[in-house]
C-alpha cells in the first residue's frame, strides 16, 4: 500500500472521529473542574446565592459591586489555609481573594451550606 493511500485512510478516520466527538459533546454542559479551586468556585456559583446583612452594608458603600463579587466567584483564588473546610461539616467557610473592576484587592468570606451559599463579609485588602 502506497503512502498516499495510507494517508487518505488516516484522514478519513480522523474526520469521522472528529465528527463523532463533536456530535457527542455538542449539546452537553461539560466542565473540566479537576483542581480544588475550580471545584469550589463552580459549586458556589451553581447554588442559590444570598447576601448577609454585613455584606449588604458593604455593597451599599459603592466601592464594590455585585458584578465584582460574581467575577471574584469566577476568577478568584480560594485560600484553603484560611478557610474552614473540615471534612464532615455541613457548613464550610471559604475565603476567596479577588479584585474589583477598579483593581482593588478584595477578600470574600462565603459560607457554603448544602442548599445555598451565603456571602458573609467583603474586606478591602
Sign of CA dihedral 41, 42, 45, 48: negative
- Among 5-19, 28-42, 69-83, the least confident range: 28-42
Name the band, by pLDDT with cuts 50, 70 and 90, for residue 22: confident
The arithmetic mean of pLDDT across residues 81-88, rounded, is 88
- Whether the CB-CB separation of 122 and 56 falls below 8 Å is answered with no
Looking at residue 98, its pLDDT comes to 95
Report whether 110 contacts 93 (CB < 8 A): yes
- Is residue 96 within 8 Å of residue 70, measured between CB atoms? no
- Phi then psi for residue 60, to 5 deg, are -70, -15
pLDDT at position 30 is 67
Tally the C-alpha atoms within 13 A of residue 46's C-alpha that lie toward its C-beta.
9
**In angstroms, what is the C-alpha Rg of the chain?**
22
Q: C-alpha cell of 104?
A: 482593588
Task: Return the DSSP state at 84.
Answer: B
The predicted model scores a pTM of 0.75
**Is the model's pLDDT at 31 over the cut of 80?**
no
Q: Quote the percentage of the chain above a pLDDT of 70.
A: 98
Mean pLDDT of 12-19: 94
Q: How far, in Å, CA of 109 to CA of 125, rounded? A: 13
Q: Is the per-residue pLDDT at 21 higher than 90? A: no
Give the lowest-confidence range in 31-40, 94-103, 115-124.
Answer: 31-40
User: How many other CB atoms sit within 10 Å of the CB of residue 24?
Assistant: 10
Amino acid at each position: 500500500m502506497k503512502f498516499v493511500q495510507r494517508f487518505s485512510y488516516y484522514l478519513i478516520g480522523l474526520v469521522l472521529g472528529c465528527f463523532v466527538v463533536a456530535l457527542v459533546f455538542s449539546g452537553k454542559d461539560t466542565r473540566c473542574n479537576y483542581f480544588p479551586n475550580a471545584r469550589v468556585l463552580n459549586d458556589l456559583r451553581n447554588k442559590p446565592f444570598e447576601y448577609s446583612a454585613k455584606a449588604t452594608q458593604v455593597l451599599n458603600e459603592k466601592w464594590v459591586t455585585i458584578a465584582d463579587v460574581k467575577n471574584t466567584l469566577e476568577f478568584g483564588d480560594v485560600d484553603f489555609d484560611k478557610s474552614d473546610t473540615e471534612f464532615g461539616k455541613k457548613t464550610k467557610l471559604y475565603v476567596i481573594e479577588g479584585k474589583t473592576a477598579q483593581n482593588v484587592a478584595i477578600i470574600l468570606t462565603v459560607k457554603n451550606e448544602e442548599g445555598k451559599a451565603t456571602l458573609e463579609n467583603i474586606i478591602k485588602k
